[in-house]
Structure formats: C-alpha cells, structure tokens
Amino acid sequence: MAAVSEYFGSLVFDDRVMKANLSAEVYQSLKRTIDEGAKLNIGVANAVASAMKDWAVALGATHFTHWFQPLTGVTAEKHDSFISPAPDGRVIMEFSGKELIQGEPDASSFPSGGLRATFEARGYTAWDPTSYAFIKDRTLCIPTAFCGYNGEALDKKTPLLRSMAALNQQALRILRLFGNDTVKHVNTAVGPEQEYFLVDAKMWEQRRDLRFTGRTLFGTKPPKGQEMDDHYFGAIKPRVAAYMEELNDELWKLGILAKTQHNEVAPAQHELAPIYTTTNISTDHNQLTMEIMQKVAARHGLVCLLHEKPFVGVNGSGKHNNWSIATDTGVNLLSPGETPYENAQFLLFLCAVIKAVDDYQDLLRISVATAGNDHRLGANEAPPAVVSIFLGDELAAILGCIEHDAPYTSIDTGKVRLGVDVLPKFPRDTTDRNRTSPFAFTGNKFEFRMVGSADSIACANIMINTAVAESLRVYADRLEGAEDFEAALQSMIRKTIQDHKRIIFNGNGYDDAWIKEAVEQRGLANYRTTPDCVPHLLDEKNVQLLTSHKVFTKAELVSRYEVTLENYCKTIRIEADTMVDMARTEIIPAVQAFILDTAKTAAAKKKLIAGCPCEYEVKLVKQLAILTDQMAAKADELEQAVLALAGAGDVAKESAAIRDVVLPRMSELRLACDEAETLTAKKYWPFPTYGDLLFGVR
Ligand code: ADP
Ligand code: MG
C-alpha cells in the first residue's frame, strides 16, 4: 500500500501541480490572483484551463463542473463533458479559460428567496481561484461562487468571502496602529469537528422516517443507552474501523486534512476532525467531507446520518467550529503573546470577539437555525440556545482585574497592577474545557459549538467574521483619532469588559438556573426555535451591520430570511406527512395484527380451560385498543394541522403555526405510537427499533 504522503492531494490541482504544469509566467500571474485577488486576464485563464484539463484527463476525468453551494445547504454541480467533435469524426478534449472562469447554470431550480422573481432566472457561477480544483467521480470540480444576473449572491460562498474581506480590512487597521507594517493579509482559519451516526443500511431501508427525513420520528429508548459512557473514545468496531480507513483515504486524496477520529458519547456516534485551514477552504472541505462520508458509508453497507437529532433521548450531533484569526506572517492573533506588548494586542482582539458575540448573539443563533438543530439547542442539550462565552477562570480573573483597576497576582510576577504596558504573561491553559459552553475560548481559538452537524459552516463564519470586523472597526475609528494611544487602548479595553461582561459565563450551560439568570438578570436572548430567531435577521441593527460591511445587500438578507424559514417549513411538513403515513399504514396495522392474535390466544385458552379469565390478554387488548384509537385520532389531527397551513399566508406565519400547532401534534402522535411499541411483541413491530439501529453495527 502506498504511503499517505504519496497520494495525499493526488486529486487536487494544488500549488505543486500548478508549479509543475504551468509556465513560470502563468503561474506567477495565477498566484497573484490567488493571494492578492488580482484580476486574471483571459490569456492566463486559457493556459490554466488547458493545464487543468490535461491533468484531469490524465487522471481519468471526462467531465468538468462548476461546483457551488446554493442556499439549500448541499453542493450543486452540473456536468459538462470535455468532448468536442473533431473534423475526422473523432473527439478532442477541450476546456477554455472562459469555461473555467464563468458558467451559466439554469438557476431556476435553486432557492433564491424571491431574489430571482425580480431579476432573471439565469444564474452565474464564477471561479473562486482561492480554493483548489479537484477531481471527484471522474469530474473536474471547479469551486465557484454562484450569483444572479445583477451580482446578487445566490450562494453561501460569496458572502463568506466578503466577510473574510471585511475582517481583513479592519484587522489590518488595528495591526497598523500597533506599528505592524509588514502584514499584508489577515485571514480567519477554521477547523470543524464533524459528528455523525452510522447505522446499518438494511435497517435504514426499512425505516421511511430515516429515508425521507434523516431522523427517527418514532421509537423508544433502548434499555441500554449512553448512560454507561462506554462508547466515548471506546474501541472502534471493525466495520466502523474499515469505514473510517477508507474515508480517510478518500479525503486525503482530495487534500482534506482529516486528522482525528473517535467514538462520541452516544452509541453509534462518531467524530471526524480535520486540521484547520483558511475558512473558505475549510468550508469547501467540510461540504466535500459530508458528501464523501455518505458515499463511503454506502460501500460498507452503512448509512451515515448527519442529522442533528436522529434519535430522541440520545445525544444529538453538532459541528464544533474552531475559529481563529491569523496573519499571513503566521501569527495567531488570538494567541496570548510572550511580551506585554503582544499581550495588549491579544487583549484587544479578545475584546473584539467578546463585544461581537454580545452585540450579535441573535445573528449567531440565526446562523445555525434549522429545524434539525432546534432539537439540540433549546432542548436541554448541548449547547443551549442562549449564547455565552467561556473564557476559563484565569482569563476571566485577569479581565476582572482590568475592569476594576485592581491588582492581579500572577505566578510569574507576583502582584501587579495591570495596564497596557504591564500585563501578565497569560498561561495558555487549554485543559480547562467547558463542554457546555456555546462559544468557548480554548487557548488560542474560539470553539463555536452551536453549528448543526448537517449544516454548512459558511453561515456561522459569515456572522462571526462580520461581527468581529465591526468591533475592530469601532476600535480602529477610536484609536486612529486618539491623542494618547495607550491611554485610549486601556480605557477601551476596560469599557468593553464593563459593557459586555454579561456574555461571559464559565459555569454549566445546561443548568436551568443559568438559562433563568441569562434571560432574567443578564438580558441575554433565548431563541429556542428557528421561527423565534430568524425574523431578527431583518432587525435594523443587523441589516446595518451586514450591509455596511458589504457582506449582504438588503435584498440578499430578505432572501436568506425567506429561504431559511421556507426550509424550516418544508422540513417539518415532510416529517409530519411521513408520520401520518407511517402511523396509518405501518404502525396501526401492526398493532391490530398483534391485538387479533392476542384475542385469538385468549379465545383458545378459554376453549381449553373453561372459565379462564385471560386477564393478561384482556388488559393488553384493552390498552392497545385505546392506543389504536388514539393513534388514529392523533394522525387525523396532525393531518388537519398540516392542511391548515395552506391558509397561513406568509412564511413567518406558516413557520409560527408549525412551531405552535404542528410540532405539538407530532409529539402527541409519537407519544401514542411509542407507547404502543412498548406493549407490542417485537416480531409484529414493522421496522427496526432504536436498539436495533444503535447497536446493530459491529
Ligand atoms: P479538541 O480537544 O477539541 O479535539 P483539538 O486541538 O484537537 O481540540 O482541535 C480541534 C479542532 O480545532 C481541530 O480541527 C483543529 O485543527 C482545530 N484548531 C486547532 N487550532 C486551531 C486554530 N488556531 N484555529 C482554528 N482551528 C484550530
Ligand atoms: Mg473540540
């Protein structure tokens, strides 16, 4: 078997391949485009396209596609072949610079949230040269942005790139104020830890809820769940190990730095973490990772569930978004420095994040709002819907001293009064982990834990980048005009701590007492559901933020609002319809069959033993008869509730009706069916149970 270092990135048109296949002149010109955003001329594009095609064809590719990320959350591609007819009746393989730079897929089938109603049905894809092209399924995939006729972003990549540009611009202003003239570019980096479940494909096929909605809509907890904590970091089962091995190989070929893998807390749950990289590339890689995870699973007779909450009563899945800011000179701006001077700069960036998270808690919550993720957030599970920041005791104590101008006792220096030029050396404590915090500082990065496992990380990073860019803008405006830089810096840091300390919480985020304190005493937002939070996307302050940094236009924001709520409604409608269908055509008939056989048993007993009371059968039949009526009635009610949605009017009203009427009916129907499951003999139950699914892969 070949060494990983030999095939890592073998399907990627990366820097090494570019250098080897492009003339020095073309390579330099492309590099300028990649690193500095310089415009690419058509001659260079033609040369790059031709080299890309030759490279891809040599590796067996026959088609190319502009690979993009529409608002559906998954990736899209439309394949074109390289084939072009030659005069001699044969074909030649062609690919032009124009085809590389821009594509024109029919956009009408992608959601646009009304953007296209006022414009044209056409959409454009534009090459994003900062993310390498790669080969997948014998197709050369070119990462692209996707926009409408007038440049409106119809995808997630465009605003992400804009938010990175906004942060770069403001962070550079701050660095210049600290006398740094060498840094040319500041980027954010992300390492997303991806959680997922693996279930047996044969069992999955028998469950329509899993097939249609990605989660179980019925099912009672097995006697053994995660209470023994024996799965977490436990030995990986052979079938899962074989899956992980192949998955790593596939990801490595695509240049994805899949690094760690282990079991998670819940049975059948696992995690994959890549090594962090530039946010934009990390986002592309995470989309690819999710796709490859599902493909490889199929080859192993498994199904990879990316849903946030596939099983009730069992931990859900998230995606921990590890985020940091770094300069092109390799300095992590969230890493406490060695000198007091570096520390002051670190403190300022730290404060920028604290202020950003407090000012835009709502946007962070909105950025992860989906029907699936609502089952995790706001449901007494990791992490809560209330956004707060964990800093650890040491850092919190330092900030407390700065706030009150009080002396701080450090191990190195003893008691010191803190100031910009007298700051303690921060201990880089990465061991102090608070797993319950939605936004935790972990030594030199922040870990945003609210992202759903199935979601693109683009939305969350757009909001984090932009909110932090805004903090830095405010700081830079003030500091650039200050007469005494150090005094201004000191007072600004103090003021940030005073104004925003309410967002800092180092305790247990699952605790009900915390939610109460957060909401009642600290005034933090607690949006439990998607319909609760998404309308706030259009709040004046949020529109102001996102448009002033040129991340979204107002029209684009309205479109995001529409699409997010539309997705929510569609998702739950499908779930509701699936439930009604499964209850009527699978569960109720199964219970009836069991009732009939139980009644027959009682009759047979009576025949054998005159006067036999058959108490057990009678009681069971009675209970199940009542439940059957309940299930049928609840299915009718749910069906009615879904039908009534047609008159809701707009998407805000419809999503509210779903939250208030449809979801409670779904719970009621489920309750009756789950109770019937506990009373019905296993062989009658029409599909695999939780026990089968969670412990079925060995
Ligand atoms: P954990 O204990 O949470 O697994 P790790 O140190 O293994 O912590 O990191 C988890 C993720 O964070 C990985 O994807 C890793 O690449 C990423 N990460 C580490 N350092 C940074 C950083 N400076 N910026 C962004 N992500 C980072
Ligand atoms: Mg982590």
CB contact at 8 A, 297 and 258: no
Is residue 264's pLDDT more than 80?
A: no
* CATH numbers and ranges of domains, the chain: 4-154 (3.10.20.70), 156-193+321-403+436-526 (no CATH), 194-273+281-317 (3.30.590.10), 566-694 (1.20.120.1560)
For ligand 1, atom 24, which residue shows the shortest CA distance? Answer: 324
Residues 6+ apart with CB under 8 A from 484: none
DSSP 314-355: S---BEEEEEEEEETTS-BTTS--SSHHHHHHHHHHHHHHHH
Residue 649: CB partners within 8 Å, gap ≥ 6? none
Cα separations (Å) of 9 from 15, 293, 466?
Answer: 10, 17, 31
How confident is the model over 656-685, as pLDDT tens digits? Answer: 999 999 999 999 999 999 999 999 999 999
**In angstroms, what is the span from residue 449 Cα to ligand 2's centroid?**
8
pLDDT in tens, 557-566: 999 999 999 9
Amino acid residing at 227: E
Least Cα distance to 650 among 527, 551, 566 occurs for 566
Q: From 186, 264, 445, give the residue whose CB has the most ligand 1 atoms within 8 Å, as the site to mutate.
A: 445
Extended strands (E) in 332-481: 389-390, 407-410, 414-417, 439-441, 446-448
Instruction: Please provide the average confidence, as pLDDT, over all residues in the chain.
Output: 90
**Which string of DSSP letters, residue by residue, matches 224-269?**
S-STT--STT-PPPHHHHHHHHHHHHHHHHTT--EEEEEE-SSTTE
* Best-predicted range by mean pLDDT (88-97, 119-128, 373-382, 537-546): 537-546
Q: Take residue 38 and report the two structure tokens written for it.
A: 């310089």
Residue 450 · residue 460 · CB < 8 Å: yes
Ligand 1 closest atom vs CA 323: 25
Contact 680 CB / ligand 1 (< 6 Å):
no
Give the closest ligand to the alpha carbon of residue 323: 1
Point out the ligand nearest to the CA of residue 451: 2
Give the C-alpha separation, 170 to 175, whole Å. 9
- Secondary structure of residue 127 in the 3-state scheme: strand
User: Which of 116-120, 397-401, 492-496, 622-626 has the lowest average pLDDT?
Assistant: 116-120
Whether residue 135 contacts residue 58, with contact meaning beta carbons closer than 8 Å, is answered with: no
Of 281, 320, 322, best ligand 1 pocket probe by most atoms within 8 Å of the beta carbon: 322
The residue whose CA is least distant from atom 14 of ligand 1 is 191
Burial class (CB in 10 A: 0-12, 13-18, 19+), 574: middle
Work out which ligand 1 atom sits closest to the CA atom of 335: 23
**566 C-alpha to ligand 2 centroid (Å):** 31
Q: Is the CB of 273 under 6 A from ligand 1?
A: yes
Q: How far is the CA of 454 from the centre of ligand 1 (A)?
A: 19
Measured in Å, residue 284 CA sits from the centre of ligand 1 at: 17
Q: How far apart are CA 430 and CA 451, in angstroms?
A: 21
Instruction: Say yes or no: CB of residue 445 within 6 Å of ligand 1.
Output: yes
What pLDDT shows up at residue 75? Answer: 84
> Which region among 90-99, 449-458, 498-507 has the lowest average model confidence (pLDDT)?
90-99
Query: Can you give the pLDDT at residue 119?
Result: 47
Residue 398: phi, psi to the nearest 5? -65, -45
Q: Are 112 and 561 in contact (CB under 8 A)?
A: no
Cα 578 versus chain centre, distance: 25
The rounded Å distance from CA 115 to ligand 1 centre is 37
Question: In testing the pocket of ligand 1, which one of 188, 265, 276 has its CB within 8 Å of the most ligand atoms?
Answer: 276
Measured distance CA(115)–CA(129) in Å, rounded? 26
Q: How far is the centre of ligand 2, averaged over its atoms, from the C-alpha of 294 (Å)?
A: 22
Contact 267, 126 (CB under 8 A): no
Mean pLDDT of 599-618: 95
657 contacts 648 by C-beta, under 8 angstroms: yes
In which band, very low, low, confident or very high, does the pLDDT at 579 lie, cut at 50, 70 and 90?
A: very high
Q: Say which ligand is closest to the CA of 446.
A: 1
Considering only 143-157, 402-416, 663-677, which range has the smallest mean pLDDT?
402-416
Asked if 361 and 377 touch (Cβ cutoff 8 Å), the reply is no
- The strand pairing partners of 441, in sequence order, are 446
**Cα–ligand 1 centroid distance for 191 (angstroms):** 6
